[in-house]
Amino acid sequence: MIAHTHSIQNRLFKSLALLIVCSLLLAPLALPTRAAGAAAPAQSYIVQAGSAAQAAQLVQSAGGTVTSSLDIVHGVAALLTPQAAARLQGLATLTPNATVDMVGSGGDNGDHDDREEGGFERVSPATDYSDGVGADYVWQEGGVTGKNVSVAILDTGLGRHRGVYRDLRGRLGRVVAWKDFISNRRAPFDPNGHGTHIAGIIANTQVGADQEWNGVAPGVDLVAVRVLDENGQGTYETVIRGLQWVMERKDQYNIRILNLSLVSPAQSAYWADPLNQAVTRAWAEGITVVAAAGNGGPGPMSIGVPGNNPYVITVGAFTDNYTPGDWNDDYITPFSAAGPTLDGFVKPDLVAPGAHMVSTMLPHTVVARTHQANRVANQYFEMAGTSQSAAVVSGVSALVLAAHPELSPNQVKFRLLVTAFPWIDPTTTEALYSMWQQGTGRVNAPDAVFAEIEGEANPGMDVWADVDGVSHYEGYSYYDDDAGAFRLRGGYDAWAGGYGTWSGGYGTWSGGYGTWSGGYGTWSGGYGTWSGGYGTWSGGYGTWSGGYGTWSGGYGTWSGGYGTWSGGYGTWSGGYGTWSGSEPWAGSIYSEAGFVEHYLSGRPIDSTTTTTSITEWVEE
């Protein structure tokens, strides 16, 4: 392998106006048209140079207008005419960040009053996801609720629902910080509803009909940052500004976890993407980042940004099939995005509940009004998506850090991955989903919190070298043209059970004959255990948890970087010229010669040759 070093500031030639969307909600949009003969309007760009100050100086010299300083990616957001953009070519990296006219919200302009607190129903509905991942066991047996941990949520905002606004004693003050990058409102509000739903899954302190808390980590504090508008849409500029704000205040508010339930299509190597650069910096600064895989499944190579970032914890979705006490009929949802990433990394990292998820939402929000059939109580709504799955894992991560505050993000990720339950056929010991669909398996809160585990995820990868543009990495995955399947380099493609090979199909779930290794029923039913011997990967020593089969390789190696990024060892084995047209990505943007050429040179395709796809509402 040939090793290369790259300077992010000098190699990025971004093109597409990447629209950030929450991974559930949205309907396709169209860019506004321009009348014939009219002058081309100024367009919003992210302009990167050696520093934010240098980028600002270049923009001003070219006649542009700086709208935001984005120090964490050594750049600014700016309005540039075509002439100004042309003057900057070769002097700075330009990433179009075009504004989009949003679809109307049924007459609601988002200015409703959220000062009146909601969520005062006499009885709240029960939620099952905390039980399904063993969080209730963690509360009861260890007294761990997430106390002394702050979770930052970058989303559509936060509504004044009692379940997310008040702590375990019913007191105000657990929302320790708020920032609005959309309308600059001083007090928290959420005109869309998605952000409040995510916050409820993580942190709801209300007790449900089952006499248990409704959130996974009800003891946490919350930091709410609004980066998506009333329709669940935003831009790289708003999200990067939100990330920068969180990093500047992480020590002040003890922000240990960052939830990113948003997604944008992957258009380049992870390291060449400005949003991923900011997310990598957050990880390097000690913040555990949890990201949704996206709802573009079930096909391969459907993981979006920032879920394709190799450092972060990327979460896919499974459903309990409406039988929370019976794990044997669970399955990974068809909408859950699958790997590998364009850079060959195994994603998602693990899966969590993501179907018919009941959580907090105020009734006047866009989601609540447009999906009234999903209402399960006055201020509780049911939604589905990997956004919700990410929220579950953010909650579990908070439980881990509450019990082990000394852990780094890599150590938190390692605990989660090595204790997950892989989905297998108990008779044949074969994996019923590949690693690119289920990651290491179903998240397992008791083992992640209580088991004696040492180790770090992302081995062989220097995150600060990545941040500084010195070195970048690629994963172990590749596509075997002869076999017509995704495999792993380094001898791991021979693993038993089909876990390390995948032809790209949805999966071989047999309709109820599989099981999660190490977990046969509910946590309280006597079948599962958190003793550390079940549901773990034996610390990376290469055996299926619970005694189901043996692998020839260990988790601890292939979960990191295969080597330094060179552009030739990514997902596309053999190169564009050898493709037969039957590959899983045939017919997609990834099969276009221009895309491959730009990717291999460390830059994305030209914005005039593609459009942005919008993830739609998920019904499950």
Residue 413 · residue 457 · CB < 8 Å: yes
Arithmetic mean of pLDDT, 45-51: 91
Q: CA 156 to CA 548: how far, in whole Å? A: 43
pLDDT-based confidence at residue 405 (cuts at 50, 70, 90): very high
> Is 568:601 a contact under the CB 8 Å cutoff?
no
Catalytic residue among 128, 131, 136, 155: 155
pTM of the model: 0.85
* pLDDT digits 0-9 by tens, 242-277: 999 999 999 999 999 999 999 988 888 899 889 999
Among 15, 130, 261, 387, the active-site one is 387
The answer to whether 461 and 343 are in contact (CB under 8 A) is no
The two three-digit tokens of residue 257, written as one number: 């976890």
pLDDT of residue 517: 52
What are the angstrom distances between the C-alpha of 154 and each of 79, 227, 244, 436? 24, 6, 11, 26
Q: Alpha carbon of 578 to those of 151, 207, 439: distances in Å?
A: 47, 59, 29
The 3-state secondary structure of 217-251, one letter per residue: CCCCEEEEEECCCCCCEEEHHHHHHHHHHHHHCCC
Domain boundaries, the chain: 129-481+495-558
| CA neighbours closer than 13 Å in the CB half-sphere of residue 130 | 31
CB 264 within 8 A of CB 4: no
- For 416, the token pair is 């989660």
Kindly state which CATH superfamily the domain 129-481+495-558 is placed in: Peptidase S8/S53 domain (3.40.50.200)
601 catalytically annotated = no
- Largest CA-CA distance found in the chain, in angstroms, rounded: 74
**Is residue 494 within 8 Å of residue 500, measured between CB atoms?**
yes
User: What is the mean predicted confidence (pLDDT) over 6-24?
Assistant: 39
3-state helix, strand, coil in the chain (%, to 5): 25, 20, 55
Q: Is the pLDDT of residue 52 over 50?
A: yes
Q: How many residues does the chain have?
A: 620
Name which of 394, 393, 388, 400 is nearest 222 in CA terms: 394
545 backbone φψ class: left, alpha, beta (φ>0; ψ -120 to 50)? beta
Q: What is the pLDDT of residue 568?
A: 54
Judge contact between 129 and 381, C-beta under 8 A.
no
pLDDT digits (tens, 9 = 90+) for 88-116: 988 998 887 733 222 222 223 333 344 44
Instruction: Give catalytic status of residue 194 as yes or no.
Output: yes
Whether 356 is a known active-site residue: answer: no
- pLDDT, tens digit (0-9, with 9 covering 90-100), for 175-226: 999 999 999 999 999 999 999 999 999 999 999 888 899 999 999 999 999 9
Q: How far apart are CA 182 and CA 614, in angstroms?
A: 20
pLDDT value at residue 605: 55
Q: What is the DSSP letter of 31?
A: P
Tokens 């869309």 sit on residue: 192
Does the pLDDT of residue 450 top 70, yes or no?
yes
* Other C-beta atoms lying within 10 Å of the C-beta of residue 597: 12
List the catalytic residue out of 6, 74, 161, 194.
Answer: 194
Q: Is the peptide bond before 298 cis (omega within 30 degrees of 0)?
A: yes
Beta bridge partners of 83: none
Query: Strands 313-319 and 288-292: what pairing?
Result: parallel
pLDDT at position 518 is: 46
